[in-house]
């Protein structure tokens, strides 16, 4: 079905081997009757996901605003507990050098997914390392400065070969980088939108606007596509992609993010 949706462009989607792994996990879920508690005990694939945890944290902040409007005081207490739990454990799970807090001093000192089975970090160099900018959980300006310098390196958005200043999904110097292969290299508007908002939160307005203009350029030249080739700007994947369109509308409005950094 994916190949049909992208008009046969098989080199833009996950490999058959990767799809087979997805199917294997689904078959395992069936064996556990999709019981999350039972699956958690012995499931072979358990990852603390950096991006999803970051999104959930900000979503809960917005949920507090909604609960306040609805005057749901009991629910506010529960949501605050969710937020507190993330704040207490975010660095523990996603930052390998938690005791030293030297964010950005090396590429190893960024944020990464955590494998609960091997009890180790998945140190693949992808755009997810920068998504915590979106959360406001990074307290020190020096740490933010270092993270921003990593984003601005040639491996991410400082190379003349790039079509735009929007950020590719994978470090272009890594052997697993594939400019057309789904999350292995192409530019995704949603990931760039998170970073754009994070940069604005921390006061990097010029850099945020560069990413914004890069996204506008991609859309103007290649339409509302699912993702884009970072070297040519070619639109890839699905066409008339709704979240690309929705996030471009949001950036056109260019409103200030309303959740304050603590």
Average pLDDT, the chain: 87
Alpha helices by DSSP H, listed for the chain, are 2-5, 16-31, 36-42, 50-70, 73-94, 141-151, 189-201, 205-222, 242-253
**46-253 has which CATH code?**
1.50.10.10
When pLDDT is cut at 50, 70 and 90, the band that residue 1 belongs to is very low
DSSP-assigned letters across all residues of 225-255: -SEE-TTT--EESSSS-HHHHHHHHHHHHTP
Provide, rounded to the nearest whole percent, the portion of the chain with pLDDT above 90.
56
DSSP structural state of residue 98: T
Q: Which of 186, 147, 149 is nearest to 170 (CA)?
A: 186
Task: Confirm if 150 and 104 have CB atoms less than 8 A apart.
Answer: yes
- The residues, any chain, with a CB within 8 Å of residue 216's CB and separated by 6 or more, are 248, 251
Please compute the mean of the pLDDT values over residues 216-222 and round it to a whole number. Answer: 94
Q: State residue 158's pLDDT score.
A: 66
Both structure tokens of 203: 């006061």
Task: Confirm if 177 and 185 have CB atoms less than 8 A apart.
Answer: yes
Residue with tokens 């694939």: 45
Q: Could you read off the pLDDT of 18-62 as tens digits, one per residue?
A: 888 889 989 999 999 999 899 888 888 999 999 999 999 999 999
Q: State residue 159's pLDDT score.
A: 65
- The residues, any chain, with a CB within 8 Å of residue 242's CB and separated by 6 or more, are 224
Strand 120-122 and strand 113-115: the pairing is antiparallel
Domain ranges within the chain, ordered by starting residue:
1-45, 46-253
Longest CA–CA separation in the chain, Å = 54
Q: Could you read off the pLDDT of 119-172 as tens digits, one per residue?
A: 999 999 999 999 999 999 988 777 888 889 888 887 887 666 676 789 999 998
């Amino acid at each position: 079905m994916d190949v049909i949706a992208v008009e046969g462009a098989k080199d833009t989607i996950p490999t058959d081997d990767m799809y087979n792994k997805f199917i294997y996990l689904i078959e395992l879920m069936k064996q556990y009757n999709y019981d999350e508690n039972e699956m958690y005990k012995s499931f072979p694939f358990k990852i603390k996901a950096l991006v999803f945890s970051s999104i959930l944290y900000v979503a809960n902040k917005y949920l507090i605003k909604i609960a306040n409007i609805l005057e749901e005081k009991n629910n506010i207490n529960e949501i605050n507990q969710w937020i507190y739990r993330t704040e207490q454990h975010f660095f523990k799970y996603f930052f390998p050098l938690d005791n030293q807090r030297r964010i950005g001093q090396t590429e190893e000192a960024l944020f990464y997914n955590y494998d609960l089975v091997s009890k180790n970090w998945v140190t693949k160099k992808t755009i997810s390392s920068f998504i915590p900018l979106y959360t406001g959980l990074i307290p020190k300006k020096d740490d933010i400065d270092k993270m921003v310098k990593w984003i601005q390196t040639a491996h991410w958005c400082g190379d003349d070969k790039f079509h735009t200043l929007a950020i590719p999904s994978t470090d272009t110097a890594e052997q697993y980088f594939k400019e057309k292969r789904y999350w292995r290299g192409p530019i995704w508007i949603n990931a760039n939108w998170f970073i754009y908002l994070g940069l604005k939160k921390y006061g990097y307005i010029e850099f945020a606007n560069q990413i914004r203009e890069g996204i506008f350029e991609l859309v103007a030249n290649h339409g509302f596509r699912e993702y884009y080739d970072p070297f040519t700007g070619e639109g890839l994947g699905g066409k008339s992609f709704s979240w690309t369109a929705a996030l471009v509308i949001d950036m056109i409005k260019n409103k200030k993010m309303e959740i304050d950094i603590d």
